[in-house]
């Protein structure tokens, strides 16, 4: 029952809506610097994206831990939730793209060197998905606690590493080197791992949980790539081929990122089914 619509209902004891959500703090976090109309949109979109990424990290970490302990069904629910959150992140580019080049140019001088490239949550999410690159931690050299958090994330198994261990526990012949590797290093695709997934896809009824796990992973990668592509096209639309505020090459850098894959054998196996 919505007590807000019925003034005769006394509010329950405990936190109010505003205090529970800390709305005073949350709504005080938007501090435009340029005096332009569109900067509020720019700030809100990026802050909201960081909150969605916080939820993604919460869910993906729990999903990875569930896979590690052979609790695949709870992991499926968490991964499906992340896929829905990713749709929100993808949709945010549609709103940000309403900023015109002139609008952005009017505020850009106040952004300094700030850039989405410096989002530690985005980097942690990539590490958790399996895109390990130790050089990315160097960006946070002036923030030791953040750098330490990312270093820990770099060395932990990715969700795909735990998926491969689940394959091995099911009796499939995953190479030992893929199970006990240095998780801080980039994952290298394996023909033997592809054969394991081929076995799963060839007999989905027999390996239903692993088949479902594979499809949930593919769904995550699919939406992550759509998010990256939306970023690329939005930047292209707003600033063209200018360099990014953080010193990256802008559109050419984002185009290269799209070529990165998280779960390579789940893509290549489709060509041999």
Domain containing residue 102: CATH number: 1.20.58.480
Say if residue 44 carries a ligand binding annotation. yes
Say if residue 58 carries a ligand binding annotation. no
Say if residue 235 carries a ligand binding annotation. no
The domain of 114 spans 36-272
Residue 27 included in any domain = no
Residue 25 included in any domain = no
Say if residue 104 carries a ligand binding annotation. yes
Residue 144 included in any domain = yes
For the cut 90, the answer to whether the pLDDT of residue 83 exceeds it is: yes
Residue 202 included in any domain = yes
Residue 33 confidence (pLDDT): 95
Say if residue 46 carries a ligand binding annotation. yes
Alpha helices, H only, the chain: 17-21, 23-27, 39-68, 72-96, 101-108, 120-129, 144-155, 159-169, 176-179, 191-202, 208-239, 251-258, 264-268
Digit-coded pLDDT (tens) for 90-105: 999 999 999 999 999 9
Q: How confident is the model at residue 6 (pLDDT cuts 50, 70, 90)?
A: low
Residue 143 included in any domain = yes
Say if residue 245 carries a ligand binding annotation. yes
Residue 249 confidence (pLDDT): 58
Residue 5 included in any domain = no
Q: For the chain, how many structural domains are there in total?
A: 1
Nearest-5° Cα angle at 85, 211 to 93: 120
Question: Across residues 193-208, what is the average pLDDT?
Answer: 97
Residue 72 included in any domain = yes
Residue 18 included in any domain = no
């Amino acid at each position: 029952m919505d007590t807000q619509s019925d003034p005769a209902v006394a509010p329950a004891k405990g936190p109010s809506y505003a205090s529970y959500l800390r709305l005073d703090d949350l709504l005080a976090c938007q501090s435009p610097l340029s005096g332009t109309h569109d900067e509020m949109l720019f700030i809100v979109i990026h802050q909201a994206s960081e909150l969605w990424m916080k939820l993604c990290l919460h869910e993906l970490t729990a999903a990875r831990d569930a896979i590690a302990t052979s609790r695949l069904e709870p992991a499926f629910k968490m991964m499906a939730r992340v896929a829905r959150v990713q749709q929100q992140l993808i949709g945010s580019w549609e709103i940000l793209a309403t900023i015109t080049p002139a609008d952005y140019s009017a505020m850009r001088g106040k952004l300094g060197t700030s850039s989405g490239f410096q989002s530690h949550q985005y980097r942690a999410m990539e590490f958790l998905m399996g895109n390990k690159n130790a050089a990315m931690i160097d960006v946070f050299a002036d923030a030791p606690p953040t750098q330490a958090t990312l270093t820990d994330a770099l060395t932990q198994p990715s969700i795909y590493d735990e998926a491969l261990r689940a394959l091995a526990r099911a009796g499939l012949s995953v190479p030992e080197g893929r199970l006990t590797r240095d998780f801080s290093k980039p994952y290298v695709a394996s023909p033997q791992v592809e054969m394991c997934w081929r076995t799963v896809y060839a007999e989905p009824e027999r390996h239903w949980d692993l088949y479902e796990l594979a499809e949930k992973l593919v769904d995550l990668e699919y939406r992550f790539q759509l998010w990256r592509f939306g970023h690329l096209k939005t930047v292209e639309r707003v600033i063209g081929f200018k360099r990014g505020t953080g010193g990256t090459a802008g559109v050419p850098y984002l185009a290269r990122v799209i070529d990165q894959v998280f779960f390579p054998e789940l893509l290549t196996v489709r060509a041999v089914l």
